[in-house]
């Protein structure tokens, strides 16, 4: 899609992948961090990781297995946590630990069988050898995310403000919440083999945290978070190819650096000492 | 026919060992100003949240705004305003007062509909009515407790509900603000919308007939019309009598 800008096919696909993954993850990240759902994002990304390992073990598509497994976990999280009870946190912990156990179990097993090499990309990501279909899938999921936020903006913003007040005002909180969980599951499982299970969380949480340092308004957060994510990850891909550095961890470090700078520069921490 | 008709309802919290509302019946007519009093943990908040279906009724029948509450909870919530008792908006909440007040319209709009000119007008009218124009563009989390309470009242006025429920809306407000808001509530009641108000502050009650409901331990122990100036003394007396009854057992 960006061939007209970037000549090298490999670099071009890497940029496209990172850009689309950034859009989906950072927009969801704005919702996730506002609603204190970080642990859900965390659990879901490891569920996708476990799903992918299952896919490899079964010698089917790792991505499709990741989608199925994380959807299943989303379906489990929903009923438990939609009431925001104490127990939700423990359930997430159990699901997270279970996912990691499944993933590590299968990856070690596959390694013992001499089939372990391909698991590396699940952990650390791989932006170098991407198929065209994977790019299209990422484009689709970032489009779904954008459409979800635009179409349900009323509902999403009310829920981000306050779940209980949203429900009292007659919004179908649960419906929106469940759709949100499934879109998170979908995005996470499609982004998994690009940035890797260990770093995917960076794309979700960090851009939203950077945006929240400067934005007082939810609309500007929805704009700023993807902009930051896109520019940092595109720069990361370029720098990674130029200096032969591993791209996903580079992007993660760059985002963390931007976050650190934004905390220091944040408007919100500035105190006005002027006397009137 | 009443706009709220509760018949022998029971409400229990998940995990609670016994129902919090136990065999309660109540009828509210259009244009009534209902004051709900009673000691802490009598079940006042639970009663309000049963009326708009935030908490499920486990037994009994309830009609609200002509709808069967047990089947149409969400439709009822679109028609019932509810100012919640406990809320906390952290300073980084990314919404202005104006946006929060407009959110009062969102439920009634339904999925996929965008707020229209009419919705924006209703929101700015509510902001004017409550007298918080100067706060409209402020972030809600940076306001004082009383200012936030006013914003939540405006949120519910913008909703143009068929029933207005308020749970201790005066807890953070000075007497001037209380009297001012009571004036607004008087207008709301005059226009035919009943108000259900849980409160412990009765100084500014409007000079109209009050439908007084006193609750204790999940039941209604007093349910009659009275004069607004007698509200406090009746609640005191009812609660004291009840306390005696408990001690003598
Ligand atoms: N979420 C909850 N879970 C379990 N019990 C609750 C919950 N909320 C309130 N209760 C119990 O219900 C009773 C009534 O509470 P509430 O309706 O808040 O009283 P009031 O508003 O009259 O002070 C109290 O005994 C309280 O402990
Ligand atoms: Mg209460």
Question: How many A from CA of B41 to the centre of ligand 1?
Answer: 6
**pLDDT attached to residue A81:** 62
Cα of first residue to Cα of last residue in chain B, in angstroms, is 39
pLDDT band (50, 70, 90) for residue B60: very high
User: Is A119's Cβ below 8 Å from some Cβ in B?
Assistant: no
Find, in chain B, the residue whose alpha carbon is nearest to that of A216: B94
Q: Give the chain A residue whose CA is nearest to the CA of B52.
A: A168
Buried b (16+ CB within 10 A) or exposed e, B113-128: eebeeebeebbbebbe
Distance CA B175, CA B173 (A): 7
Average pLDDT over residues B28-54: 96
Which residues does B103 contact at the CB level (< 8 Å), separation at least 6? A154, A157, A158, A161, A165, A166, A169, B95, B155
Asked if B164 and B196 touch (Cβ cutoff 8 Å), the reply is yes
Phi, psi of B184 (to 5 degrees): -65, -40
From A121's Cα to the closest Cα of chain B, the distance in A is: 37
Q: How far is A85 from chain B (nearest CA, A)?
A: 11
Strand duo B33-37 + B195-198: pairing? parallel
Burial of B25 (0-12, 13-18, 19+ CB in 10 A): middle
For residue B244, give how far its alpha carbon lies from the nearest alpha carbon of chain A (Å): 38
Among A160, A171, A221, whose Cβ lies nearest the Cβ of B106?
A: A171
SS3 (DSSP) at B67: strand
Q: Kindly determine whether residue B77 and residue A170, on different chains, have CB atoms separated by under 8 Å.
A: yes
Partner B contacted by A156 (CB < 8 A): no
Q: Average pLDDT across each block of 10 residues of chain A; the chain has 276 residues. List them in order.
A: 76 92 96 86 87 88 89 81 60 86 88 71 78 90 96 96 95 91 91 80 92 90 97 95 92 95 78 58
Backbone angles phi, psi at A222, to 5 degrees: -65, -25
A163-172, B98-107, B150-159, B234-243: the lowest-pLDDT one = B234-243
Residue A260: is it exposed, middle or buried by C-beta count within 10 angstroms (0-12/13-18/19+)? exposed
Q: Is the pLDDT of residue B151 over 80?
A: yes
Q: Which residues contact A229 (CB under 8 A, 6 or more apart)?
A: A22, A23, A25, A26, A203, A207, A255
pLDDT of res. A159: 95
- Specify the pLDDT at position B89: 93
* B188: three-class secondary structure by DSSP: helix
The interface predicted TM-score of the complex, written ipTM, equals 0.93
Mean pLDDT of chain B: 93
Distance (Å) from the alpha carbon of B102 to chain A's nearest alpha carbon: 10
Contact between A189 and A50 under an 8 Å Cβ cutoff? The reply is: no
Reading the block at residue A34, the tokens are 């506002």
Answer positive or negative: Cα dihedral of B30, B32, B33, B36: negative
The CATH number given to A9-198 is 1.10.3470.10
Run of H or E residues at A133: helix A132-151
What are the sequence ranges of the domains in chain B? 4-248
- Whole-number percent of chain B with pLDDT over 90: 82
Chain B partners of A32 at a C-beta cutoff of 8 Å?
none
Distance B87 CA to ligand 1 centre (A): 15
Whether residue A96 contacts residue A77, with contact meaning beta carbons closer than 8 Å, is answered with: no
The whole-angstrom separation of Cα A162 and Cα A156 is 10
Q: Per DSSP, which regions of chain A are E strands?
A: none
In angstroms, what is the span from residue B56 Cα to ligand 1's centroid? 14
The mean per-residue pLDDT over the stretch B116-144 comes to: 96
Q: What is the mean pLDDT of residues B200-221?
A: 92
List the single range of A86-90, B38-42, B95-99 with lowest mean pLDDT.
Answer: A86-90
Taking CA–CA distances from B48, the nearest residue in chain A reads: A168
Q: Is A45 on the interface with B (CB under 8 A)?
A: no
Cα A204 from Cα A195, distance rounded (Å): 11
Chain B residue with the nearest C-alpha to that of A219: B94
Q: Are strands B219-227 and B57-64 parallel, antiparallel or unpaired?
A: unpaired
Of 3.40.50.300, 3.10.590.10, 3.30.230.70, 3.40.1030.10, which CATH number belongs to B4-248? Answer: 3.40.50.300
Global pTM value = 0.90
Read off the pLDDT of each residue in B207-212 and give the average, rounded to a whole number.
Answer: 94
The number of C-beta contacts closer than 8 angstroms across A and B is 78
Nearest CA among B35, B71, B38, B31 for reference residue B53? B71
Query: Ligand 1 centroid to B22 CA: how many Å?
Result: 13
> 10 Å Cβ neighbour count for A240?
23
In ligand 1, the atom with minimum distance to the C-alpha of B215 is 22
């Amino acid at each position: 899609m960006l061939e007209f800008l970037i000549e090298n096919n490999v670099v071009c696909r890497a940029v496209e992948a990172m850009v689309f993954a950034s859009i989906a993850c950072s927009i969801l990240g704005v919702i996730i961090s506002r609603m204190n759902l970080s642990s859900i994002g965390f659990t879901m990304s490891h569920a996708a990781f476990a799903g992918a390992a299952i896919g490899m073990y079964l010698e089917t598509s790792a991505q499709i297995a990741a989608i199925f497994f994380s959807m299943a976990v989303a379906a489990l999280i929903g009923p438990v946590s939609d009431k925001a009870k104490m127990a939700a946190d423990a359930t997430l912990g159990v699901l997270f630990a279970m996912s990691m156990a499944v993933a590590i179990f299968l990856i070690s097993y596959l390694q013992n069988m001499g089939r372990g090499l391909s698991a590396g990309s699940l952990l650390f990501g791989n932006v170098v050898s991407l198929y065209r279909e994977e790019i299209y899938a990422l484009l689709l999921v970032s489009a779904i995310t954008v459409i979800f936020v635009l179409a349900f903006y009323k509902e999403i913003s009310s829920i981000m403000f306050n779940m209980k007040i949203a429900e009292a005002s007659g919004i179908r909180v649960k419906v929106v919440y469940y759709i949100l969980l499934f879109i998170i599951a979908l995005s996470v499982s499609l982004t998994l083999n690009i940035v890797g299970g260990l770093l995917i969380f960076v794309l979700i949480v960090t851009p939203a945290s950077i945006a929240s340092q400067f934005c007082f308004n939810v609309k500007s957060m929805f704009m700023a978070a993807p902009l930051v994510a896109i520019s940092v990850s595109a720069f990361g891909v370029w720098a990674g190819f130029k200096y032969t550095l591993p791209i996903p961890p580079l992007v993660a470090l760059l985002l963390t650096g931007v976050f650190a700078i934004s905390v220091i520069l944040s408007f919100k921490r500035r105190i006005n000492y002027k006397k009137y | 026919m009443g706009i709220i008709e509760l018949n022998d309802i029971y409400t229990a919290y998940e995990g609670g060992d016994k129902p919090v509302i136990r065999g309660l019946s109540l009828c509210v007519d259009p244009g009534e100003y209902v004051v709900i009093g009673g000691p802490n943990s009598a079940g006042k908040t639970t009663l309000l949240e049963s009326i708009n279906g935030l908490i499920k009724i486990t037994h009994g029948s309830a009609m609200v705004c002509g709808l069967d509450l047990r089947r149409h909870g969400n439709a009822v919530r679109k028609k019932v305003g509810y100012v919640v008792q406990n809320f906390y908006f952290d300073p980084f909440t990314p919404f202005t007062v104006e946006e929060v007040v407009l959110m009062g319209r969102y439920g009634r709009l339904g999925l996929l509909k965008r707020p229209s000119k009419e919705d924006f007008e209703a929101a700015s009218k509510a902001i004017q009515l409550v007298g918080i124009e100067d706060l409209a563009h402020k972030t809600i989390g940076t306001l004082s407790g009383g200012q936030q309470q006013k914003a939540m009242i405006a949120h519910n006025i913008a909703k143009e509900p068929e029933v207005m429920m308020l749970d201790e809306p005066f807890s953070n407000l000075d007497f001037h603000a209380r009297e001012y808001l009571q004036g607004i509530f008087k207008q709301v009641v005059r226009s035919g919308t009943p108000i259900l108000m849980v409160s412990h502050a009765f100084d500014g009650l409007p000079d109209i007939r009050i439908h007084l409901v006193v609750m204790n331990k999940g039941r209604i122990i007093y349910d009659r019309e009275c004069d607004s100036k007698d509200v406090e003394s009746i609640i005191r007396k009812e609660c004291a009598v009840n306390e005696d009854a408990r001690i003598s057992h």
